[in-house]
Amino acid sequence: EDQVTQSPEALRLQEGESSSLNCSYTVSGLRGLFWYRQDPGKGPEFLFTLYSAGEEKEKERLKATLTKKESFLHITAPKPEDSATYLCAVFKAAGNKLTFGGGTRVLVKP
Amino acid sequence: NAGVMQNPRHLVRRRGQEARLRCSPMKGHSHVYWYRQLPEEGLKFMVYLQKENIIDESGMPKERFSAEFPKEGPSILRIQQVVRGDSAAYFCASSRAGGSYEQYFGPGTRLTVT
């Protein structure tokens, strides 16, 4: 059975304190991995797609990387507006459905 | 705004009533997906549709739930005879056809069953 596990469940950071979020997966036939950001009461906002091990994507203070077993989302010098829940999801070669991890709730304090 | 649209944003139903949730995909997108987020749980896939076709409904409960995406108009997720356990946020996502798998989500419909 496909499994996606995110850690930690929650992360409290001081403004400017860089950190990394982990998404580990056990999936047969992985086609790619998505990262989303979700604010309370809103829908997930697309951030990145990663397709192959070694791939990296960057957007502002966020950088996503992918290995054969896990993905990392690095937050460099975070600001309070980076506070959100970050979700990773995998999709397989067969079918388009996404399997989500449980998310990491990030709180950045000024 | 060419984003995914969902309505209503909030829906309150009494036990036994029907709930209808609507989703209009992003402009240029022809694939629609429905996901459910139960309180304190992660997002779970329910169903994947293309125009007039259900492609994958492996995540749909066997009873009371149905989905459609007609040739004209929005996709509809229908829940008959709602129960308290159906209370959740229901999200619709859409993607382009032809191999691009990026799914963009709408703001969700929050269903409360009283």
Question: What would the pLDDT profile of B69-91 be if each residue is shown by its tens digit?
Answer: 999 999 999 999 999 999 999 99
> pLDDT, tens digit, for every residue of A27-68?
888 889 999 999 999 999 999 999 999 999 999 999 999 999
Mean pLDDT of B44-51: 95
- pLDDT tier at B41 (50, 70, 90 boundaries)? confident
| Percent of chain A's residues with pLDDT above 90 | 86
- CA nearest to B106 within chain A: A43
Window 21-80 of B: residues touching A by CB (8 A cutoff) are 31, 33, 35, 41-45, 48, 55-56, 58-59
Q: What pLDDT is stored for residue B80 in this prediction?
A: 98
| Percent of chain B's residues with pLDDT above 90 | 86
- pLDDT tier at B40 (50, 70, 90 boundaries)? confident
- Look-up of token digits 């059975």: A1
- Which positions in chain B touch A98 (Cβ < 8 Å)? 33, 35, 43, 45, 93, 103
Is the minimum CB–CB distance between B103 and chain A shorter than 8 Å? yes
Q: What pLDDT is stored for residue B1 in this prediction?
A: 53
**3-state DSSP call for residue A58?**
strand
The sign of the CA dihedral A6, B35, B9, B74 is positive
Is the minimum CB–CB distance between B85 and chain A shorter than 8 Å? no
- pLDDT tier at A96 (50, 70, 90 boundaries)? confident
- pLDDT tier at B61 (50, 70, 90 boundaries)? very high
Indicate if the pLDDT at residue B30 is higher than 60. yes
- CA nearest to A42 within chain B: B107
3-state secondary structure chain B: CCCCEEECCEEEECCCCCEEEEEECCCCCCEEEEEEECCCCCEEEEEEEECCEEEECCCCCCCCEEEECCCCCCEEEEECCCCHHHCEEEEEEEECCCCCCCCEECCCEEEEEC
Measured CA to CA, the distance from residue B50 to residue B71 in angstroms comes to 9
| Percent of chain B's residues with pLDDT above 70 | 96
Contact A97 B59 (CB under 8 A): yes
Query: What is the residue-averaged pLDDT of chain B?
Result: 94
- Look-up of token digits 């125009």: B51
- Which positions in chain B touch A45 (Cβ < 8 Å)? 105
Q: Output Rg (C-alpha) for chain B, integer angstroms.
A: 13
| Percent of chain A's residues with pLDDT above 70 | 99
Cβ pair B64, B46 in contact under 8 A: no
